[in-house]
Amino acid sequence: MSQYKLLTPGPLTTTKTVKEQMFNDRCTWDEEYKNLTQSIRKKLLEIGNADENNFTTVLQQGSGSFVVESVLQTALSDDDHILIICNGAYGERMIKMVQKLNKSMTPVYLPYNDIPNINELKKIINNDKSITHIAFVHCETTTGILNPIEELCEIAKESKVKIIVDAMSSFGGIPINIKSLDIDYLISSANKCIQGVPGFGFVIAKRETLKLCEGNANSVSLDLYDQWLNMDVDGKWRFTSPTHVVGAFKQAIIELEEEGGVEERNKRYQRNNNYIINEMKKIGFEPFIKTEVQSPIITTFLYPNELFEFNRFYEFMKKHNFILYPGKLLDTPSFRIGNIGDLHRNDFDLMIELIKLYQIEVGE
């Protein structure tokens, strides 16, 4: 296969040194591997500004959605009532998960290009004292919109409800202080802003909150509480773990630190995202999301005209080793360009030149 540049929100373009870690076979029972797991758990707390006395990290096999469902399985008892903010496909997925669990839920649906109104949310919570949890997606990669994490966490704190943050596509690429935000559960994945490869996700959870969850899950493999109890002993995963992915992830954490941590990575992402948006505007592609709520992770662009054929455009870019992301807006023709991963200004210079070349060739 060609070595494509993945302009997606993950899986993403990884460094050669991250890939090379997957050449090594590791044994799940070996002390060295269990120590590797423990060191990753500790490093994730540091990245999230969460202290070890009050917070813990649980690694969980599977894709990001597996881990989100694991949290919902574990966090919600039959007496709980969750409010889910939805302005994208991943908010909708959380709603579907809770429906399958048959738990009490208040979904708050918003247009895909709009963030929640804080005062309206306060009214909903104040008028329904049965609400015990709030959940939302920090960066909705459906569009690239960034939801206001500080304000939403503040509502949870004021209302004395627990907060679940799907930070799948933001953790490691946008600074998040879990302790000061008082987050109960933060969820992310190996193949996002920390720039590892797919295979597991993780949850940074408040210890006191997680301790209350024994027996909530009606799934064995998705029981986050049981996974935590086992892993907290010596780093042993309950079931076979993706050992090659874990090794690659440790290298990805090292490379995050070498870049200067989350703050410096965020600056790179932001510079590249600004450059993409500005240059795309010059050649006729308008972003779907307003600047003030646009994340530095991925951008949705509207088709420039009625003649634009995305599949043709996609194949042209793929032929030149760039993989674009289709749009997820049902009523608005669009596509997405992600800029996380091992991507740099020279990559986007070339991308823009190729798009210009495409426009000349097809006359669009």
For the stretch 235-251, pLDDT in tens is 999 999 999 999 999 99
Burial of 134 (0-12, 13-18, 19+ CB in 10 A): buried
pLDDT of 331 reads: 83
Distance CA 343, CA 307 (A): 30
* Whether residue 211 has pLDDT greater than 60: yes
**Mean pLDDT in residue range 69-87:** 98
* Whether residue 88 has pLDDT greater than 90: yes
Indicate the pLDDT class of residue 109, thresholds 50, 70 and 90: very high
Q: What is the mean pLDDT of the chain?
A: 96
**Mean pLDDT in residue range 157-183:** 97
CB 296 within 8 Å of CB 139: no
> Tokens at residue 343, please?
């991507």
Residues 330-350: tens digit of each pLDDT: 789 999 999 999 999 999 999
Strands 325-326 and 55-61, bridge-based pairing: unpaired
CB 131 within 8 Å of CB 125: yes
**Mean pLDDT in residue range 128-151:** 97
265 known ligand binder: no
pLDDT of 363 reads: 78
User: Structure pTM?
Assistant: 0.96
| Domains, in order of start, for the chain | 5-9+261-362 (3.90.1150.10), 20-258 (3.40.640.10)
Distance CA 60, CA 75 (A): 15
pLDDT of 10 reads: 87
HSE at residue 157, side-chain half, CA atoms within 13 A, is 12
Indicate the pLDDT class of residue 329, thresholds 50, 70 and 90: confident
